[in-house]
């Protein structure tokens, strides 16, 4: 058995292309079905973020060396 892709015959190359094509179609089909399966559809909901307590930020001009 030869394990090199360069010296493989035509039917081996055809099998590799066919398996890659089937795998690509399966991944695309899974992605489409997972996206369209959401119950919300295409509607979006707005999320409101309320401000909390004020924060005091101070800075020191001193250089800190660790």
Residue 21 near residue 15, CB atoms below 8 Å: no
22-33, pLDDT tens digit by residue?
999 999 999 888
Can you tell me the distance from the alpha carbon of 14 to that of 45, in angstroms, rounded to the nearest whole number?
A: 48
What residues does each domain of the chain span? 1-39
Over range 18-42, report the average pLDDT.
82
Handedness of CA 8, 6, 14, 3 (dihedral sign): positive
pLDDT at 19: 96
pLDDT at 51: 85
- Number of alpha carbons in the 13 Å side-chain half-sphere of residue 4: 2
Global confidence as pTM? 0.49
């Amino acid at each position: 058995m030869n394990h090199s892709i360069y010296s493989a015959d035509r039917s081996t190359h055809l099998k590799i292309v066919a398996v890659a094509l089937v795998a690509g179609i399966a991944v695309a089909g899974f992605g489409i079905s997972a996206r369209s399966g959401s119950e919300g559809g295409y509607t979006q909901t707005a999320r409101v973020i309320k401000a909390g307590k004020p924060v005091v930020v101070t800075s020191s001009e001193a250089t800190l060396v660790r």
